Amino acid sequence: MTNDAWTPLRAGRRYQTPRPVSRRATRFSRRRSAGITATQGRWSLADRLFAGATDRRALAELLLERQGIVTRDSVRGEGIPGGYSAVYGELRALETIGICRRGYFVEGLGGAQFALAGAVERLRELRAREDEEPEPLVLAAPDPAQPYGAALPWPKRAGARAARVAGAQVILLGGKPALFVERGGRSLVPLRDPDEEWLRPALAALVEHVRAGGAKRLAVERFDGQPVGETEVMPLLLEAGFVAGPRRAVLRP
């Protein structure tokens, strides 16, 4: 996409842009409307600026720079016309001249994987040790960094209850899926068999995420398809910081 103004580039981060302070802020205040936002200007698609066929070599290099490790499913997720076959030949050519290497870097993603050397080394550095606690991470379900439902299938236990939809969140423990939070937070779907050993750190990460501004409010009504008050997770929710309400557990920032 492109813009007809320089303001979006010159402005600070959208949510850190200073706002004018007015003692009497009215709905149609001139002072309020004069505030700079990071999305000013007219936006339009830029595909007309690049007429003609896409340079497949440049596309293959872009995928390597963007993803680090390129697999069949990751190319499919990009929506590239022709899919993996459209860039496979160029990736092999890049391997021949030493720009990338081919191997089996990520288990379960097929054998035809191409990676930058730096990406492989970073993966080795991030490999968890046996004595380390799995690090919790809360991601938006459709986030490109969240691979489940795109490059990787959802755990079978989730059935059709987990999806890459806006507003939903996924809690990973050590990179493995643990908990799916439905849009609006009304339902929690465990992505593995419920157990206090992993539920405690997963819920703690969710509470920390909400209190850091990741969500306005959570009102959990169901856990694993059952009323939350009738499940073993209710005491753990209260322990993590939720407040018991009628037929729900509520968490406010």
Q: Which fold has domain 53-126?
A: Arc Repressor Mutant, subunit A (1.10.10)
Q: Which of 209, 218, 213 has the alpha carbon at shortest distance from 138?
A: 209
Residues in the chain: 253
In the predicted model, is pLDDT for residue 28 greater than 70? no
Mean pLDDT of 46-50: 75
In the predicted model, is pLDDT for residue 16 greater than 60? no
Q: What is the mean pLDDT of the chain?
A: 85
In angstroms, rounded to a whole number, what is the distance separating the alpha carbons of residues 40 and 5?
7
The predicted pLDDT at position 17 comes to 47
In angstroms, rounded to a whole number, what is the distance separating the alpha carbons of residues 211 and 232?
24
In angstroms, rounded to a whole number, what is the distance separating the alpha carbons of residues 167 and 129?
33
Task: Confirm or reject CATH 3.30.780 for domain 136-251, answering yes or no.
Answer: no
SS3 122: helix
pLDDT tens sequence across 175-185: 899 999 998 88
Confidence of residue 131 (pLDDT cuts 50, 70, 90): confident
Mean pLDDT of 153-170: 91
The predicted pLDDT at position 94 comes to 96
In the predicted model, is pLDDT for residue 171 greater than 90? yes
219 or 150: which carries more pLDDT confidence? 219
Domain assignments of the chain as residue spans, ordered by start: 2-48, 53-126, 136-251
Q: Which of 175, 235, 179 has the alpha carbon at shortest distance from 202?
A: 179
pTM higher than 0.85 for the full model?
A: no
Lowest mean pLDDT among 27-36, 84-93, 161-170: 27-36
Q: Which of 189, 179, 191, 188 has the alpha carbon at shortest distance from 154?
A: 191
Q: Which of 204, 207, 157, 159 has the alpha carbon at shortest distance from 185?
A: 207
